[in-house]
Structures are given as C-alpha cells and as structure tokens.
C-alpha cells in the first residue's frame, strides 16, 4: 500500500516537473510558446492569426530565437492539464482610458469598445461574432440572418521543425481550428465572413518522430495519421 502511494506521489511530481508553465511564455512570429524552466524546452501553444489571408503559413522552428528547442505542439501544463495547439484570432484590445478619480463602469467600457470598433473597421476588436455551433449548425443565440453569411475556404500551412516530438492528446483539425470554425468577422457592408479552414502540414526531413505526405501529418513509428478523427 505504501509503495502504491509513493508511486502515485512520484508520478504526480514527475508530471508537475515535466509540464509547461502558463506564467512564462513568449510570442515569436505570431506563435505563443510556453517554457519549461526545468528542461529548457518550449511548447508551441497557439498561433495568433490577424485574419489576413497572406499570413496563413505557421512555422514551428527547431529553436526559439534564444536557442530554446521547440519540442512539442500542445502538451501538459502545470501539474498535467492537457492543452491543444490551436489557431486563434488575434484581438488586440485597446487600453481603457485611465482616471485618477474612479474606474469606468461596465457600460462605459462597453461604449468605449463599441466606439473603438466603429473607428477601426479593419481591426478584429468588436467585429468577431459567434456564428457556428461545434456541430456546424448556425448558433441560434446569435440571431444571425443566414443571408448575411459569406463562406470562404482557407488553408493554414504548418511547418514543423526537426525537434518536435509530441502533441497534445487527441489532437484533431477541429481542436486546432475551433475558433476559426465558430467565429465570423463582421464586414463594413454588414455581411459576416466565415472561413472554412483546412490544414496542410510540412515536416523537416530531420524530424525523427513525424513526417508529412500530401499535407497530412503521420507518426513515423506506425505510419498512422496524427490528427484524431471522430467516428461517425
């Protein structure tokens, strides 16, 4: 019994030591990385997309600019919480005006953001709206006229470096692209642009864990696709 307890404690401590910290992260070329202090390694956590169609190539390099090797796309954070690599819209919220006498009320803050969105139609602030449910159906709570929606196909290319040897559990195209699937961008003419995203992978030939064929990511050990596909 004591051995079982000690083994469980050891496993918990090991998980805590091998996880990545949310508190220490860096962003390089649009990709956010969590850093492991113990192992001096980096985990690619997310790509912050600015919704420009000329910025859809994502490169997970061999190392960060300081030489830290990038060894996983998604993984475990903290004491073992799974985290998927994901592509998200980059929303740069402006700072609220500061006052020495009082804080802004929620209504005043919302009014500030609405005005900012009106004055900056090319930014994502105030222009993202939930359109689709996880099953692809129209989100009923959004009360959107389907005639306003304009769909457009887009492909994200992910270039994976030679040091990447792991991903988060049950990684799938949906777990990576969930926000792009679900959110639309309100256009200046009132239409709502919704992207229909796809993924295309390239892998460094020196990578010992993964390879890509025709844009599909495979594991070298068994030749099986890495991305999880749910059963129909």
Structure confidence at residue 140 (pLDDT) = 53
Q: Show the tokens assigned to 207.
A: 């990578």
**Residue 207 maps to a domain:** yes
In-domain check, residue 37: yes
- The reported pLDDT for the residue numbered 24 is 74
Residue 77 lies in a domain: yes
Q: Is-contact 75 20, C-beta < 8 A?
A: yes
Domain count, the chain: 1
Among candidates 49, 45, 123, which has minimal Cα distance to 81? 45
Residue 60 lies in a domain: yes
Q: State the sign of the Cα–Cα–Cα–Cα dihedral 171, 174, 175, 176.
A: positive
Tell me, yes or no, whether 140 lies in a domain: yes
- Tens place of pLDDT for every residue, the chain, 232 residues? 444 443 333 334 443 445 666 567 899 999 999 998 665 899 999 999 999 999 999 999 999 999 999 999 998 776 777 888 999 998 877 677 776 556 777 777 777 777 777 777 777 878 888 887 655 566 655 567 888 899 999 999 999 999 999 997 778 999 999 999 999 998 888 899 999 999 999 999 999 999 999 999 999 999 999 997 654 4
For residues 86 and 167, give the distance between their C-alpha atoms in angstroms, rounded to a whole number: 11
Q: Tokens standing for 10?
A: 């050891």
* C-alpha to C-alpha distances, 12 to 6, 24, 67, 84, 199, nearest whole angstrom: 10, 21, 29, 21, 35
Confirm whether 231 is domain-assigned.
Answer: no
In a domain, 84, yes or no: yes
| Number of Cα atoms under 13 Å in the Cβ half of residue 93 | 9
Domain coverage including residue 83? 19-219
pLDDT for the residue numbered 2: 45
Examine residue 202 and state whether it is found in any structural domain, yes or no.
Answer: yes
């Amino acid at each position: 019994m004591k051995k079982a307890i000690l083994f469980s404690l050891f496993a918990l401590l090991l998980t805590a030591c091998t996880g990545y910290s949310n508190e220490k992260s860096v962003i390089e070329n649009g990709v956010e990385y969590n850093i492991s202090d113990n192992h001096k390694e980096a985990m690619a956590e997310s790509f912050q997309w600015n919704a420009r169609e000329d910025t859809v190539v994502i490169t997970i390099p061999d190392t960060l600019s300081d030489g830290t090797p990038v060894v996983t796309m998604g993984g475990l954070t903290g004491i073992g919480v799974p985290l998927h690599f994901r592509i998200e819209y980059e929303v740069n919220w402006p700072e609220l005006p500061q006052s020495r006498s009082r804080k802004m009320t929620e209504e005043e803050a919302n009014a500030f953001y609405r005005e900012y969105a009106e004055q900056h139609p090319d930014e994502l602030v105030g222009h993202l709206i939930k359109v689709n449910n996880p099953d692809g159906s129209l989100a009923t709570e959004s009360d959107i006229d389907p005639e306003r929606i304009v769909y457009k196909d887009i492909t994200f290319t992910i270039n994976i470096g030679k040091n990447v040897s792991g991903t988060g559990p049950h990684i799938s195209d949906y777990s990576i692209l969930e926000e792009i699937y679900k959110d639309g961008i309100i256009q200046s003419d009132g239409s709502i642009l919704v992207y229909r995203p796809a993924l295309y992978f390239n892998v460094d030939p020196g990578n010992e864990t993964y390879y890509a064929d025709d844009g599909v990511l495979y594991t070298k050990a068994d030749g099986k696709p890495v991305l999880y596909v749910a059963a129909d």
